Amino acid sequence: MSRSSVAGMIELEGLTKRYGEKVAVNNLSFTVRPGIVTGFLGPNGAGKSTTMRMILGLDHPTAGDVRIDGKHYHQLKDPLTYIGALLEAKAWHGGRSAYNHLLCLAQSNGIPRRRVGEVLETVGLTAVAKKKTKGFSMGMGQRLGIAAALLGDPRILMFDEPVNGLDPEGIHWIRTLMKSLAAQGRTVFVSSHLMSEMALTAEHLVVIGQGRLLADTSMADFIARNSRSYVRVRSPHRERLLDVLHQAGVVAVESGEGVLEVDGGKAEHVGELAAQHGLTLHELSPQQASLEEAFMRLTAESVEYHAHSGTSAAPPPPQQQQWGDGWKRG
Amino acid sequence: MSSPQSQMPQAAPTWQAAPGTSFPSGYTSPIPVVRTHLGNAIASEWTKIKSVRSTMWTLGVFVLLVIGIGTLTGVVVAESDPALDGESPLGLGFFGLLLGSMCIITLGVLTTASEYGTGMIRTTMVACPSRGRVLAAKGVVFFLVAFVVTLVSACLVAFLHVAMLEGDGAKSPTGGEWLKGTVGIAAYVALLGLLSLAVGSIIRHSAGAITIMIGAVLAPLVIALFMFSESLQGVRDALFEYSIPNQLSVFYSNSLSQSGPSGWDPLWIMLGATAVAFAAAFALLEKRDV
C-alpha cells in the first residue's frame, strides 16, 4: 500500500487565518499521519484551536488549504465516520440527556442507533445516559465529548486540550485511550500547552508559536536534540578535579558555588577519575534538562503574554486562557 | 526556568518501542459508509427539538394561552346580551393566537440561536458540514411542529366558540371562513415562527433575536399611535394595516381597517418576508465562521 492511499491523513498547506490585523495562524504546513499520537503543542493563544477549527471546516482559512484524506471537510458526506473531534468542554445543550445528544449526532450521519449505547459503555457513562448533561462534572463532560468523537468509529481523532481540568484518574484514562486508538492504526491528533503531557503520550510533535510552525519532528528527535544531559559535580578540591578532568579530555564548566557541570559525561567515569586521584566528591549526580525547558526555549520569542519576573515592568493583563476559551470567540 | 530537576525523559519510554518510520495501513471501521442527505439532518433535528424542555414549555404555554383565552372570550361574549350580531364566532380566537404567537416566536428563535449560546452549533456543524442542510432541516422540523400545534389549537378553539355561541345570534361560518380561521391562521403563525428561526440564525443570540421579533410584532402599532399629525396619515394607516396583529385579524375578516391586506394577502406577505430572511440567513451561515 502506497503512502498516498493510506487513510487517515490530515494535510495542511500554507494554512493561514487572519482576524483583522492579527494573524492567528501563519502559513502552517504539516501532515498528521496514522498509527501514532501526534502532539500539537504551543503556548496559550498560539493558534492551536483556530487550526483545529479550520481542519473541521468551522472557520474559513484566509489562505491555504487543509484536507482530510485528500478532501475538504465540507466534502465529507458522513464526516463523523472519518474524523471524530473533542472540541471545547460541554459544547452541547445542558437540558438534553447524554443519550439524546449522541443520538441526534448519530442520526445526522446515518450511524446505527446501537453505537450510542456502545460508546456510552466505552466511556463509562451508561449509568447516567438518561440524565441531563447540565449536572455533569468536568470529567463526565470530557467523557461525553470523547463518546461523541468515537461515535462514528472514525479513522482520525482530534482532541483539543483533552486533559485540562481532569483529575489524575481521568488524565490516565485519556492517555491510555489515545495510545490504544493509535495502536489500532488510527490517526490521533491532540493539542496541549504542556510539554510534560505530550512527552507521555505523543510520538510525533508539531510545535507552533504565534501561529507559526516551530518544529515538526519525532518526539525521540526532539528529546535528543533539546534535552541536554550532564553530570553535576561538587568537590572541595575543585581546581585539582578540573585539572584531572581536563587531562582525561573531559570538558567541564564551572557554574558557580563550587559546582562543576560535565557535559555529556558519564557519572561513573567522573567518579572513577576522582577516586584514582584521591579527590573527595560531595556530589555526583547525572542531570537532564527538562523537556518543558526545551519547549519554553523554543517558544520563548513567540509567547504572546509573558509573565514578567522583574519588578520594573507592569504586570501583563490577566489573559490567562480558560479551557475552551479558544472555541468560544464572541 | 529553574534548575533542571524535573527529569521528564525518564518517564517516557513506552512509545519509543512503537514503529517510527513505517506507518500502519490505517484503521478500517466496521461501520458502513453512508451518503447522508437532508433526511438524516431532519431526523437529527427532530430528536433535538423533542428532547429539550424549552420546546415543551413554549408549546405548552402556547396551547394554554390559545385555549384558555379562547374559552374566556367565549364565556364573556356568550354572557353579554346582544352576543354576536350576525358575526362569525371564529373571530374570537384572535386574542389567544395573538398572545400565543409570542411562544411560537420564542421557540423559533431558540431552535437556531440557542445552539450558539451553548456551543452546540460547533458540534452540529462538525457532524453536518453542509450548513445549508442544517438550517433547512431546522426549518422543516420547526415549521411542521409549529403548524400542527397551531392548527390543532386553532381548530379546538374554533369548535368551542361555534358550539358556545350557536344559538346566540352568531352566523354560522362559511367553508372559506373555516379554512382561513384554522389552516390559514396556523400557516401564518408557523411562518412567523419560521421568520423568527431565520432571524435567530442571523442574530445568533436568543434574547436579542426574541426582542427583535417581539418588537417587529408590536412596534408598528405603537409607533402608529403616536402619529397624530395629519401629514403622516398615510404612514400611520400603512403601519396599522400591515402590522402583524392586524394581518392576523385579516384571517378572521375583522380587520381594524377597510383598506390594506385582505383575504389571504397576509400569508403571502409573511411568506415573502420569511423567504428574504432565509436567504440572508443562508448567505451569512456560509460566509461566517461558526
* Side chain identity, residue B216: A
Q: Work out the average pLDDT over A168-197.
A: 93
Among A58, A79, A95, select the one facing B290 at the smallest CB separation: A58
Nearest CA among A99, A105, A62, A45 for reference residue B115: A105
Quick one: how far is CA A134 from the chain centroid? 28
CB A56 within 8 A of CB A83: yes
- C-alpha span between B89 and B91 (Å, rounded): 5
Out of A64-73, A234-243, A262-271, B96-105, pick the least confident. A262-271
A289 or B25: which leads in pLDDT: A289
A135 close to B (CB below 8 A): no
What pLDDT does A229 receive?
78
Neighbours of A160 (CB within 10 A): 25
Range 27-46 of B in CB contact (< 8 A) with A: 27-31, 33-36, 40-41, 43-45
What pLDDT does A6 receive?
58
Q: Work out the average pLDDT over A145-155.
A: 95
Query: How much of chain B exceeds pLDDT 90, in percent?
Result: 66
Give φ, ψ of B25 to 5 degrees. -80, 10
What pLDDT does A12 receive?
97
Among A7, A92, A288, select the one facing B120 at the smallest CB separation: A92
Confidence at B181, pLDDT banded by 50, 70, 90: very high
Chain A residue numbers with beta carbons less than 8 Å from the beta carbon of B34 are 77-78, 81, 109-111
Nearest CA among A42, A207, A278, A102 for reference residue B123: A102
Reading the block at residue B30, the C-alpha cell is: 466496521
- C-alpha span between B83 and B89 (Å, rounded): 10
Question: Interior CA angle at B274 toward B268 and B276, to 5°?
Answer: 105
**Could you write out the three-class secondary structure of chain B?**
CCCCCCCHHHHCCHHHHCCCCCCCCCCCCCCCCCCCCHHHHHHHHHHHHHCCHHHHHHHHHHHHHHHHHHHHHHHHHHHCCCCCCCCCHHHHHHHHHHHHHHHHHHHHHHHHHHHHHHCHHHHHHHHCCCHHHHHHHHHHHHHHHHHHHHHHHHHHHHHHHHHHCCCCCCCCCCHHHHHHHHHHHHHHHHHHHHHHHHHHHHHCCHHHHHHHHHHHHHHHHHHHHCCCCHHHHHHHHHHHHHCHHHHHHHCCCCCCCCCCCCCCHHHHHHHHHHHHHHHHHHHHHHHCCC
Q: Work out the average pLDDT over B151-166.
A: 93
Q: What is the mean pLDDT of chain B?
A: 87
* Inter-chain residue contact B8 with A288, CB threshold 8 Å: yes
Among B16, B48, B127, select the one facing A220 at the smallest CB separation: B16
What pLDDT does A136 receive?
93
* Inter-chain residue contact B119 with A95, CB threshold 8 Å: no
* Inter-chain residue contact B29 with A81, CB threshold 8 Å: yes
- C-alpha span between B261 and B241 (Å, rounded): 7
Nearest CA among B243, B203, B198 for reference residue B220: B243
Chain A residue numbers with beta carbons less than 8 Å from the beta carbon of B27 are 7-8, 34, 155, 184-186
Chain A residue numbers with beta carbons less than 8 Å from the beta carbon of B124 are 108
Chain A residue numbers with beta carbons less than 8 Å from the beta carbon of B38 are none
Confidence at A238, pLDDT banded by 50, 70, 90: confident
pLDDT tens, residue by residue, B199-244: 999 999 999 999 999 999 999 999 988 888 888 888 888 898 899 9
User: What is the domain partition of chain B in residue ranges?
Assistant: 37-287
Chain B residue numbers with beta carbons less than 8 Å from the beta carbon of A186 are 26-27
Most confident of B26-40, B135-149, B166-180: B135-149
What is each CA distance from B53 to A140, B57, B199, B200, B208, in whole angstroms? 22, 6, 22, 19, 21
pLDDT tens, residue by residue, A194-221: 888 888 899 999 999 999 999 999 998 8
The alpha-carbon gap from A222 to the nearest alpha carbon of chain B, in Å, equals 11
Quick one: how far is CA A190 from the chain centroid? 6
Q: What share of chain A is helix, strand, coil (3-state, %, to 5)?
A: 35, 25, 40
**Strand partners for A209:** A212
Range 159-188 of A in CB contact (< 8 A) with B: 179, 182-187
Give the start-end residues of each E strand in chain A.
10-19, 22-32, 37-41, 63-68, 83-86, 156-160, 187-192, 204-209, 212-218, 229-234, 252-254, 259-263, 283-288
pLDDT tens, residue by residue, A279-289: 999 999 888 77
Range 47-86 of B in CB contact (< 8 A) with A: 47-48, 51-54
Among B8, B35, B51, select the one facing A77 at the smallest CB separation: B35
* Inter-chain residue contact B36 with A78, CB threshold 8 Å: yes
Neighbours of A298 (CB within 10 A): 18
Identify the three-state secondary structure at position A21: coil
Q: Work out the average pLDDT over A296-313.
A: 62
DSSP state of A193: S
Reading the block at residue B165, the C-alpha cell is: 355561541
| A98-108 helix and A138-150 helix, angle to the nearest 10 degrees | 20
DSSP state of A153: -
Confidence at B47, pLDDT banded by 50, 70, 90: very high
CB B285 within 8 A of CB B124: no
**Strand partners for A217:** A205
The predicted complex's ipTM stands at: 0.86
Chain A residue numbers with beta carbons less than 8 Å from the beta carbon of B130 are 74
